[in-house]
């Protein structure tokens, strides 16, 4: 069902658009009676409960308009506080991002922090992105924490998510929150929670916090009154230290000096990246950084893009246009909270091409490993981390350079978990995943587009110093390690039975794994839900030492890989494909590329996924 959504762009607690303010409708009982009783009861709780009058007037207007669909969607459930926090459409209702859902979530988190750290001074860091109401939600979050006697380090202006992760450890905080919905459309906002190591929350804290949040059933249980003495505003002081750490990632400053006029185009897509990325690039030594002016101003309406997502061609179009005009070497875009980065470069035909997350990560991994080796920094205790649905090319490169490569479940909280376990024993170089996120160094424990932009630019400078483009460098990697190509499709099963259909699909794959896929024997099945690796040729099983997750992977005899991963929140399932073939010479690139595309198409057809 499609729901029409009313968005509240409120700047203060008790203000909402005048158009929503009206007298209570005479037809209220008529429309309420048509809804499920539980939804009607929830609406009446909001109309009669401890909610401000402006909020109640919005509900009354929806009733007067007969907008049963919107009321149903806004109240049919509570906005779920998942393992990463909250994310949802902004507006009035229990299933919306608003003052009350944010405040109740914060109270639950505050309660858990006080239980986890009894008789200790507790501090948290809070940041927000450029989205509509993000600054308001950040103030609400700070108010509630401070009212609970918790010390708050509140960024006084928008900042990238990775800087929030950095600030948690910098200030010795026990937790942190960033208000962002990442690259979601403008109607959304979110609340991302972190633990004391600067990483997003993992077990057992995730489930325990969820329990505390769910136990808050009324705004009357929330401490709303801001305690000014418990709030410290931060900004440039943290920027300075964080930027120094990013600059410290550079492995070859002399090379940058030689290539200081590298033509770089950058767009923050109306987000937080504008606060740090251009100055980091300039401080690193790049003197020709060109910002896309149409997208430089922070704006939660994202007026120049349909989705502020650097994966999308449309979102990158202005950056690519400027890159063409300048005959640039590199175009980069970061999402609104600047934790993910997409890039475009000229390919072997001189045409501008967007690289996907695996490709960008491939050249970044190759450069960093190569640079560390040449600098004599690989001593046998270094490691990198990737996720299980990311290209295996990174594993091959790590092995070649004598660096251990760990694989984790999808999500940077798991990459951060490996760093936490090996802290003081081994040296982390970088980590990444296919969805355009990378982490360099261990001073940030989440994906970091600010540091990624810096090191991607250094990678392009490295290629240019060798009279190559970044695309040439990528082909050099394929010549040495094999041409790997990845694809992904997402299947949505609509309707009430959609989620069950997907569970049935996964159960069928577990019970009857395909004997072959696209003409190649299936040799292994990795079931991350049961934590069992099965050799399908011998029947031998091995325990997978990893947290349980509903993911299946099939390894084929020819080295190709197929992964199935259902969404935990939507009736949707994603299938990931990784195929490979040798590349004997650069001139064969297009031919092999087409062969790999045909392989992926064959896998999709064989599994009947369309």
Active site residues: 182
Closest CA to 101 of 130, 121, 125, 77: 77
CA 60 to CA 559: how far, in whole Å? 60
Closest CA to 92 of 101, 82, 84: 101
SS3 234: strand
Q: Please, which residues bridge with residue 407 across strands? A: 386
Q: Please, which residues bridge with residue 515 across strands? A: none
- Rounded to 5 degrees, φ, ψ at 303 are -65, -20
Which DSSP string corresponds to 460-510? HHHHHHTT--HHHHHHHHHHHH-EEEEEEEEEE--STTHHHHHHHHHHHHH
In degrees, rounded to 5, the angle at the alpha carbon of residue 57 between the alpha carbons of residues 56 and 62 is 100
In this structure, what token pair is assigned to residue 582? 């040798």
In this structure, what token pair is assigned to residue 32? 């309420």
Count other C-beta atoms under 10 Å from residue 277's C-beta: 30
CB 373 within 8 A of CB 401: yes
Three-state secondary structure of 250-309: CCCHHHHHHCCCCCEEEECCCCHHHHCHHHHHHHHCCCCEEECHHHCCCCCCCCCCCCCC
In degrees, rounded to 5, the angle at the alpha carbon of residue 109 between the alpha carbons of residues 107 and 111 is 70
Which DSSP string corresponds to 72-117? HHHHSSPPP-BTTEEEEEBSSSTTSBSHHHHHHHHHHHHHHHHHHS
């Amino acid at each position: 069902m499609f729901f029409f959504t009313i968005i509240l762009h409120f700047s203060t607690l008790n203000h909402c658009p005048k158009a929503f303010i009206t007298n209570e409708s005479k037809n209220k009982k008529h429309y309420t009676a048509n809804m499920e009783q539980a939804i009607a009861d929830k609406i009446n709780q909001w109309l009669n409960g401890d909610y401000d009058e402006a909020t109640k007037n919005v509900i009354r207007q929806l009733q007067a308009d007969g907008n049963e669909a919107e009321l149903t969607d806004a109240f049919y459930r509570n906005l779920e506080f998942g393992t990463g926090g909250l994310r949802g459409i902004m507006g009035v209702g229990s299933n919306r991002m608003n003052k009350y859902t944010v405040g109740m979530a914060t109270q639950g988190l505050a309660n858990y922090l006080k239980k986890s750290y009894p008789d200790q001074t507790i501090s948290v860091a809070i940041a927000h992105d450029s989205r509509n109401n993000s600054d308001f939600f950040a103030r609400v979050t700070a108010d509630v924490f401070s009212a609970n006697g918790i010390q708050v380090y509140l960024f006084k202006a928008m900042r990238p998510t990775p800087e929030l992760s950095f600030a948690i450890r910098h200030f010795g905080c026990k937790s942190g929150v960033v208000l962002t919905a990442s690259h979601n459309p403008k109607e959304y906002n979110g609340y991302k929670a972190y633990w004391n190591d600067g990483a997003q929350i993992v077990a057992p804290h995730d489930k325990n916090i969820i329990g505390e949040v769910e136990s808050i059933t009324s705004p009357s249980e929330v401490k709303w009154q801001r305690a000014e003495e418990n709030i410290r505003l931060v900004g440039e002081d943290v920027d300075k230290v964080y930027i120094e750490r990013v600059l410290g990632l550079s492995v070859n400053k002399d090379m940058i000096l030689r290539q200081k006029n590298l033509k770089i185009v950058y767009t923050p897509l109306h987000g937080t990246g504008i606060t740090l990325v251009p100055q980091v690039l300039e401080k690193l030594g790049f003197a020709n950084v060109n910002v896309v002016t149409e997208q430089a101003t922070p704006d939660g309406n994202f007026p120049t893009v349909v989705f502020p997502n650097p994966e999308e061609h449309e979102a990158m179009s202005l950056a690519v246009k400027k890159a063409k005009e300048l005959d640039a070497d590199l175009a980069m875009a970061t999402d609104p909270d600047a934790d993910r980065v997409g890039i475009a470069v000229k390919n072997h035909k001189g045409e501008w091409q967007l690289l996907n997350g695996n490709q960008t990560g491939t050249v970044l991994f190759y450069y960093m490993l190569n640079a560390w080796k040449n600098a004599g920094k690989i001593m046998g205790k270094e490691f990198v981390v990737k996720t299980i649905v990311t290209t295996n090319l990174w594993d091959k490169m790590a092995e070649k350079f004598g660096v251990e490569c760990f694989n984790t479940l999808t999500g940077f909280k798991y990459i951060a978990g490996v760093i936490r376990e090996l802290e003081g024993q081994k040296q982390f170089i970088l980590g990444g995943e296919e969805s355009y996120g990378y982490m360099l160094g261990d001073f940030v424990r989440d994906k970091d587009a600010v540091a990624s932009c810096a090191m991607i630019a250094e990678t392009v400078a490295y290629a240019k110093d060798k009279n190559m483009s970044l695309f040439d460098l990528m082909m050099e990697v394929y010549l040495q390690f094999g041409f790997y190509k990845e694809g992904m499709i997402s299947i949505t099963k609509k309707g009430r039975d959609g989620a069950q259909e997907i569970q049935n699909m996964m159960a069928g794959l577990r019970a009857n794994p395909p004997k072959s896929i696209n003409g190649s024997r299936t040799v292994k099945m990795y079931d991350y839900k049961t934590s069992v690796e099965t050799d399908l040729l011998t029947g031998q099983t091995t325990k997978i030492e990893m947290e349980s997750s509903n993911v299946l992977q099939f390894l084929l005899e020819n080295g190709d890989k197929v992964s199935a991963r259902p969404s935990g929140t939507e009736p949707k399932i994603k299938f990931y494909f990784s195929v490979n073939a040798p590349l004997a010479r650069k001139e064969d690139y297009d031919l092999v590329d087409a062969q790999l595309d045909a392989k992926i198409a064959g896998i999709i057809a064989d599994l009947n996924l369309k």
